[in-house]
Amino acid sequence: MGENVINIKTGLAEMLKGGVIMDVVTAEQAKVAEDAGAVAVMALERVPSDIRKAGGVARMSPPELIEEIMAASSIPVMAKCRIGHFAEAQILQHIGVDYIDESEVLTPADEEYHINKHDFKVPFVCGAKNLGEALRRIGEGAALIRSKGEPGTGNIVEAVRHMRDINNDIKRVISADDAELMTMARDMGAPFELLRIVKREGRLPVPLFSAGGIATPADAALCMQLGADTVFVGSGIFKSDNPEKFAKAIVKATAHFDDPAIVLEASKELGGVAMRGTEISELDEPMKMANRGW
């Protein structure tokens, strides 16, 4: 197909805009997510906060668990593979998941190379902390970017940092003249041709979602106002007091992120307290997931 149409992999991401993608670990949770209005679910063995607690090596979820969640869902199902673990990705594609997340939440399999995502028919989402990282992943074939945040912490500070960094980098690129672009490409480690597209379009060439620490309706509204097209909520829903109500309230706040009256309403419908959360400085360096990948 010509250049004249958005790639079919990114096309699905366009359809997920304005929504909430929820981490689920069972088919029952997938039903709760779908009934609450999730646009997609992420099928996992453990949510990020439990991955932190469990320690050890975090790998792709068991295929039979992913298949069970797919059978229970009418909405798209995503699943995670380890950074650089293209054999796990091949399995996930063979299962038929709708999106693969090459994710820093799992223990990286390759510290040098990410997956060459052009080799796959299934679309990939990858995390990024700044524009250079986002464009490297897009260069490798990612169809969707999410800000990394710090998963499993219930602490929004890193997601905000990464959204702001990506936005600020984009502003710099827009105001740069053509001669400066190559130097920026060198400094950011970003593919030059993709930087030219960012300058021309004034935004990333694929949708930008937010992830990593979203725990309340207000967190979701904050990320959306910082320019996210959609939010991923991991531990924030099923580690809260009342997953059903939290899920519904976060969907509501995301749809009307720019209307404080509705975000207020959603914030009063939680039926319990949010996950406890973790201060980032309490994390040991190896457990800072955002620093995985490059």
Footprint of another protein on this chain (CB under 8 A)? Answer: 1-2, 4-6, 8, 11-12, 14-19, 34-40, 74-76, 93, 96-99, 121-123, 248, 251-252, 255-256
- Compare residues 74 and 175 and give the one whose CB is closer to another protein: 74
CB count, 10 Å around CB of 111? 10
- Does 17 qualify as catalytic in the annotation? no
- Amino acid occupying residue 126: C
- Which one is catalytic: 9, 53, 80, 268? 80
* Least separation in angstroms between CB 219 and another protein: 18
Q: Do 115 and 84 form a contact (C-beta atoms < 8 A)?
A: yes
134, 174, 179, 192, 202 from 182: Cα distances, Å: 17, 13, 7, 6, 17
CB of 286 to another protein, least distance (A): 34
**Shortest reach from residue 252's CB to another protein, in Å:** 6
- Least Å distance, CB 216 to another protein, is 18
CA 86, 69, 237, 75 torsion-angle sign: positive
Residue among 89 and 190 whose Cβ is closer to another protein: 89
Q: Closest CB to another protein among 99 and 132?
A: 99
- d(CA 246, CA 194) in angstroms, rounded, equals 38
User: What's the min distance (Å) between Cβ of 114 and another protein?
Assistant: 21
Residue 35 or 111 having the CB closest to another protein: 35
Structure tokens at 158: 């890193």
Angle (CA) 143-147-290 rounded to 5° is 115
CB-wise, 51 or 77, nearer to another protein? Answer: 77
Using CB atoms within 10 A of its CB, is residue 271 exposed (0-12), middle (13-18) or buried (19+)?
A: middle
Q: 144-147 long-range CB contacts below 8 Å, 24 or more apart? A: 144/10, 144/13, 144/99, 144/206, 144/207, 144/209, 145/204, 145/206, 145/207, 145/208, 145/209, 146/208, 146/209, 146/210, 146/211, 146/212, 146/232, 147/208, 147/209, 147/210, 147/211, 147/212, 147/223, 147/228
φ, ψ of residue 232 in degrees (nearest 5): -95, 130
Tokens representing 293 are: 């990948």
For the bound state, the minimum distance from the C-beta of residue 183 to another protein, rounded and expressed in Å, comes to 30
Q: Which is nearer to another protein, 187 or 201 (CB)?
A: 201
Active site residues: 80
